[in-house]
Amino acid sequence: MQNKFSTGLKSDFMSGVIVFLVALPLCLGIAQASHAPLFAGIVSGIIGGIVIGFLSGSQLSVSGPAAGLTAIVLTAITKLGAFEIFLCSVIVAGAIQFILGLIKAGSLANFIPSSVIEGMLAGIGLTIIIKQLPEAAGYIKPHTLENPGIADADDGFLMASIKTITQHLEPTAIVISILGIAILALWQTKAMKKLQMIPAGLIVVLMGTVINEVLKLQSPEASLEHHYLVNLPVAHSFNEFLGHFALPDFKGFLNPAVWETGVVLAIVASIETLLCIEATDKLDPLKRTSSPNRELFAQGIGNMLSGLIGGLPMTSVIVRSSANVNAGAKSKLSAILHGVFLLVCAASIPFILNLIPKASLAAILIFTGYKLCNPKVFKHMWKGGTTMFIPFVATAVAVVSLDLLKGVGIGLVISIIFILRQNMRLPFYFQKSTFSNGELIKITLAQEVSFLNKASIKETLDNLPKNCSVIIDASKTEYIDYDVLSTIREFHDIKAKEKNINISLVNFRNIYNVPETASESDIVQQFVLSNEIPKRVAGDHNKLLKMLKMASAQ
């Protein structure tokens, strides 16, 4: 027993180290992509590991700042005008998640079509790539060159002229980015399988740092200046370290936009978290099941705390969770330890982190974005047909061109339209056979017949020819809307008699209170007696209908 415990502790410790190495560049990179203070990414990583790791019911999932939220965070910070005001939205999001956990709303993600979720992720991936291209190229706003201390990547990078862009690029940053993306791509191949236990993101960060440090010694003019590097605050005392944690501007709660952003964050973060823990449970060798309600509860507390001390919003993250599983973690201790390592690192060696080029982080994020919008995803959705592909593409395009909330909303509306259209197109199956004494028509209702089908059923019944015989069969039907039943009753009682139509309503449930007059067998028997069809098959309805169909086709 003792040996098993020590083995598990060793596995969790080593897994915690590996997840820490994966999470560190991602925490910094996601903060960079969100145009938030880089320290905020570390703060949320610490809380995601220690606090959520302790409270969560999942044994292997790891929480922290998520690439899927960068588009929302970036837009919100710009819209609200200050990071301290945005922190109020993070608190609101956490409070909503906490309530969702209490009311057991863990099945929330099940109501979002997979095509919309995939489109949302693809749109986020494209957004990340677009936003990180300036950082990867070392592009600096022309008007900030005179004051490089406040220089930043330009959002108008793609809209600028080629001449303007080429005049303000940094060759060393471009080289570091290209090499970083190449390493990340190479790390995915079978040839590097034995080395994949070493986090590729760590290799990219070390490579970029070493290149820049060597250039400082050999060719200082080619090296990257400080505004191209990570810029974490360096504390010289414990009290000074505590001062780096930002407090929210509580006046932000008076701003309706803060609450709107909080709701959006809560919905998206909850969906991403629930999908992640479901995927992580599938990866768990022990096949343990995590409570989605407890996870929302833990995420809510974590996000409220993150907002209170200056962190970014968090979710359970599949990249870190899968790394945790692959590293051999046995329990939630590995996630907690990774948070402890982030705390120790931020408190003791920020000056080392400040040697990391932003281009290295941009390379990691661009590759992360590529994985979210991989062409294979588009191909998979295309194979799923138009009902999958069109909502997927519409969501992705809208997320990039508008924002995440509007993108998901547009995707949902289009998905609903397709569902309604499909439902309206298949309310029944229609069979028609023509003989010397008239026509035999069989209408087999579908499994679900809603009020949306009323118009098509009414039109079909109204256009039935005079003097025909009709069978309306509800044997395959689980639900028929009241309005549809009323239409069928009206046709049976009034319109059928006016047009001399012999109608039979068969296999309707008693609760529908539909009159069944002549049976299907009686109507078929009439055609047997008046046409050249052998009487010996009169009782076999399926064979007879096949013969009627063949006769009609000839």
**Helices assigned H by DSSP within 190-246:** 200-218, 238-242
Residue 393's pLDDT is what? Answer: 93
| Residue 286: Cβ within 10 Å count | 8
User: Which tops the pLDDT comparison, 433 or 471?
Assistant: 471
User: Which of 109-118, 294-303, 334-343, 389-398 has the lowest average pLDDT?
Assistant: 109-118
533: pLDDT strictly greater than 50: no
Task: Band the pLDDT of 366: cuts 50, 70, 90.
Answer: confident
Residue 554's pLDDT is what? Answer: 42
User: Which tops the pLDDT comparison, 149 or 100?
Assistant: 100
Maximum separation of any 2 CA atoms in the chain, in Å: 104
Task: Band the pLDDT of 8: cuts 50, 70, 90.
Answer: low
102: β partners: none
Output DSSP code: residue 111. G
Q: 299 near 314, Cβ under 8 Å?
A: yes
Residue 2's pLDDT is what? Answer: 47
Domain with CATH 3.30.750.24 in the chain: 427-553
Task: Band the pLDDT of 259: cuts 50, 70, 90.
Answer: very high
Query: DSSP letters of 321-366?
Result: HHHHHHTT--STHHHHHHHHHHHHHHHH-HHHHTTSBHHHHHHHHH
Q: What is the mean pLDDT of residues 71-80?
A: 90
| Residue 161: Cβ within 10 Å count | 8
Q: What's the mean per-residue pLDDT of the chain?
A: 81
438: left (phi over 0), alpha (psi -120 to 50) or beta: left
146: pLDDT strictly greater than 50: no
Structure tokens at 508: 């309707």
Residue 518's pLDDT is what? Answer: 52
Rounded to whole angstroms, the Cα distance separating 138 from 170 reads: 5
Residue 534's pLDDT is what? Answer: 43
Query: DSSP letters of 148-175?
Result: GGG----TTGGGS-HHHHHHT--HHHHH
Rounded to whole angstroms, the Cα distance separating 235 from 229 reads: 18
Output DSSP code: residue 492. I
Place of tokens 């290295």: 360
pLDDT one-digit tens code per residue, 150-169: 344 545 565 555 555 666 68
CA distance to 110, 152, 331, per residue, from 292 (Å): 12, 39, 17
pLDDT one-digit tens code per residue, 166-189: 666 888 999 999 999 999 898 888
Identify the architecture of domain 427-553 in CATH: 2-Layer Sandwich (3.30)
Structure tokens at 320: 């870190």
pLDDT one-digit tens code per residue, 376-415: 889 988 988 888 899 999 999 998 888 766 787 898 899 8
- Residue 41's identity, in one-letter code, is G
Q: Which residues, other chains included, contact 419 with Cβ-Cβ below 8 Å and sequence gap of 6+? A: none
Rounded to whole angstroms, the Cα distance separating 117 from 272 reads: 9
Output DSSP code: residue 233. P
Q: Is 57 exposed, middle or buried (0-12, 13-18, 19+ CB in 10 A)?
A: middle
Q: What is the mean pLDDT of residues 303-317?
A: 94
The pTM score is 0.67
206: pLDDT strictly greater than 50: yes
Rounded to whole angstroms, the Cα distance separating 316 from 133 reads: 26
pLDDT one-digit tens code per residue, 317-332: 877 887 788 777 889 9
- Which string of b and e fits 63-96 if b means at least 16 CB within 10 Å? bbbbbbbbbbbbbbbeebeebbbbbbbbbbbbbb
pLDDT one-digit tens code per residue, 438-448: 678 888 888 77
Task: Band the pLDDT of 232: cuts 50, 70, 90.
Answer: confident
535: pLDDT strictly greater than 50: no
540: pLDDT strictly greater than 60: no
Q: 16 near 333, Cβ under 8 Å?
A: yes
